[in-house]
Structure 1
Amino acid sequence: MTNRPEGDARAERNARRAAARERAQRTRTQQKRRQRGVRIGLQVGLGVVLIAAATIVTLVLVNSSRPAGPGPDTMADGGITIGAGLKAVEPGAASTPSPSSTASAEQVRITLYVDYLCPICGSFEQTNSEYIEGLVDSGAATLDVHPVAILTNRSQGTKYSLRAANAAACVAQESPDSFFAVNRALFAAQPEEGTPGLTDEQLADVVTTVPGVRKGSTIEQCIEDQRYGKWVDERTTAVTGGDIPGSELTTFPGTPLVLVNGQQYPYSTASTNDEFRTFVVSAAGSTETTPTPTPSATPTASATPSGSASPTAG
């Protein structure tokens, strides 16, 4: 073993200590940098999360407060009016519906609030559609049809009521003179309540294959886009909340709501066409103004989904 002077040994120990202190200092500095980086990363990540959450909340609030787009031009009050020849009547051309008014002194005003999934609506259609068609076609009555979506939650999540009402609204906008026949075709193709109902493609097929329907491709796109879906939803909310044009009712009794000159017809599945005819006579005020449509060939119960319903009586 080599002996070294005491001074050299001391210097070597001091150098080792200095080197150890330097390494320790570097380690602490690196740790502080890593910790600072972690804190910055957490802060940035939290900031991104907060910004994203704020954006989502803003979008939800904007969408929930955004008013529905305009409805069809022919449905100013939520319903379309059908007159002589089964042609659509432009809003304002007929008097505004009220419990005591009709389109003219000789006409009866029939108003229907319908849901295309409602089985009782389907029964009313099957029982009375041919009679109503004769009245309206001849000019003895006008017909207001208000599609609503009361049973939107009764189709296994597909929102069939809303989609069908939207399809009707698409026709009211693009091919209004075909509305009566399309309304009949939608009921002829009515699915059972509690089933998924028709797809949008099937709805489009039912609607656009009705003879006389114009702008088929535009209607198909309207159905696919659910152009009037939000409008239908908001009109349904308004109606169920007591805003019921054509009556003095403040509480919506459900579908079908049938009004004749503003008077509610107490329809049930046991009702007959004779009973409805009698009610129309009574609501007309006297037999002298009772509508008497021109006789036609033996009517069929309803149209088929392929649109075999004719827009004229017969």
Structure 2
Amino acid sequence: MTPGGLSDSRPSKNERREVAREKAKQLRIDQKKKDRRNRVLLQGSIGVVAIAIVVIVAVVIMGSIRPAGPGPANMASDGILIGEGMTAVETTALQPDAAAQASEPDATGTVANIRVYVDYLCPFCGLFELTNGEQIQSWVESGAATVEIHPIAILTSKSAGSQYSLRAANAAACVASSAPNDFYAFNAALFTDQPEENTTGRSDAELKEVVAASGVTTNVSEIETCIDDTTYKTWVQEATERALSGPIANSELEKITGTPTVLVDGKQYVGALDDPNEFSAFVLQAVGESYSTSTPTPTPTPEATPAG
């Protein structure tokens, strides 16, 4: 025993310092291991999340982008041609990536070939239809004119995200394909109580109500499915692009720059959209000019020279 009391067994200051250093060293080692483990787990989690996002995006894209299918029947020209008795000219469906096939205009010069490019959200298209629709119908019914209607969608972004222009043009294509002789009535009905720009427009259910209200009775369930599936969405987009890029067949017009674009025997009408008399006068003038250029001028019969 050491004189003066019990022996002091506590570690010295240097020993405590050494223990602290060792403990700190071990803590640093443990922390580094923990950090490495966390990084591996984080990277793995990020990888899993990234893969999940890619899968979700791929599913959404594949669900929204369908392979391009044929266009609607009876619209090989990107429009539907309606003749005497309001009977539509039937054509086969335009195949994907195929060029539109221009309709053959009446060559006699006695029948007005009226062509109208419309967007169903365009208020000026509605004005033209409400002003001139009935008189055009009377001309076509009697055989004095044909009318070819081209639905396009240049105002798709003007319907608060609902793409009404595109969906309405698709609905028109559905009717043209499945009930062509009811197309003119459906086209007119789309302009009755027409939705305003920058509104959502009609829903698909409401478009189907227009089908019924306009008197379509042929292949109604087929048309409704076509509307629900936006079957002709790709065709509408391509037909719109063809109209905007041109050229416009059977006319001197390079391309469509707005709606409505109205052509009579290839000549563009630029008069008042709300004056049926002005449009009627334009049609008569266009037909007169077409008739004068399509009818050969009679050659005078030479008279016999008297015998000398």
- TM bucket (normalised to shorter chain) is 0.7 to 0.9
1:90 CA displacement: 1.6
1:183-202 alignment to 2 at 5 Å? 183-202=187-206
Match of 2:112 among 88, 93, 108: 108
- The corresponding residue for 2:102 is 97
- The corresponding residue for 1:282 is 288
Alpha-carbon distance in structure 1 between the residues aligned to 2:198 and 2:46: 45
What code does the residue aligned with 2:77 have? Answer: D
Distance 1:279 1:41, change over 3 A: farther
Q: Tell me how many residue pairs correspond in the alignment.
A: 281
Distance 1:65 1:222, change over 3 A: closer
- The corresponding residue for 1:12 is none
- The corresponding residue for 1:40 is 40
Alpha-carbon distance in structure 2 between the residues aligned to 1:192 and 1:21: 78
- The corresponding residue for 2:257 is 253
1:36 CA displacement: 2.2
TM-score (norm 2): 0.72
Cα pair 1:152 1:162 within 8 Å, conserved:
yes
- In the alignment, structure 1 residue 171 sits paired with structure 2 residue 194: no
- The corresponding residue for 1:119 is 123
- The corresponding residue for 2:82 is 82
Match of 1:231 among 225, 228, 235: 235
What code does the residue aligned with 1:278 have? Answer: L
What code does the residue aligned with 2:268 have? Answer: Q
Distance 1:138 1:222, change over 3 A: same
Alpha-carbon distance in structure 1 between the residues aligned to 2:257 and 2:234: 23
Alpha-carbon distance in structure 1 between the residues aligned to 2:149 and 2:268: 15
What code does the residue aligned with 1:78 have? Answer: D
Alpha-carbon distance in structure 2 between the residues aligned to 1:277 and 1:70: 34
Alpha-carbon distance in structure 2 between the residues aligned to 1:178 and 1:2: 116
Between the aligned residues of both structures, percent identity stands at: 48
Cα pair 2:175 2:223 within 8 Å, conserved:
yes
- In the alignment, structure 1 residue 154 sits paired with structure 2 residue 158: yes
Distance 1:246 1:54, change over 3 A: farther
**Unpaired segments of 5 or more residues in structure 1?**
10-15, 290-314
What code does the residue aligned with 2:136 have? Answer: I
Task: Provide the alpha-carbon RMSD of the alignment.
Answer: 4.1
Structure 1 residues 52-91: Cα deviation after superposition (integer angstroms, max 9, x where no partner)? 5666787899899977443212222311122232222122
Cα pair 1:263 1:283 within 8 Å, conserved:
no
- The corresponding residue for 1:311 is none
Structure 1 residues 243-264: Cα deviation after superposition (integer angstroms, max 9, x where no partner)? 4344332232311111122221
What code does the residue aligned with 2:102 have? Answer: P
Distance 1:86 1:48, change over 3 A: same
Alpha-carbon distance in structure 2 between the residues aligned to 1:270 and 1:73: 32
Alpha-carbon distance in structure 2 between the residues aligned to 1:196 and 1:279: 40
Alpha-carbon distance in structure 1 between the residues aligned to 2:252 and 2:137: 26
Q: Match of 1:143, SS? A: strand
Alpha-carbon distance in structure 1 between the residues aligned to 2:242 and 2:56: 28
Alpha-carbon distance in structure 2 between the residues aligned to 1:242 and 1:218: 32
What code does the residue aligned with 1:199 have? Answer: S
Cα pair 2:252 2:266 within 8 Å, conserved:
yes
Cα pair 1:68 1:234 within 8 Å, conserved:
no
Alpha-carbon distance in structure 2 between the residues aligned to 1:85 and 1:2: 127
Alpha-carbon distance in structure 1 between the residues aligned to 2:293 and 2:154: 36
Distance 1:210 1:263, change over 3 A: same
Q: Match of 1:285, SS? A: helix
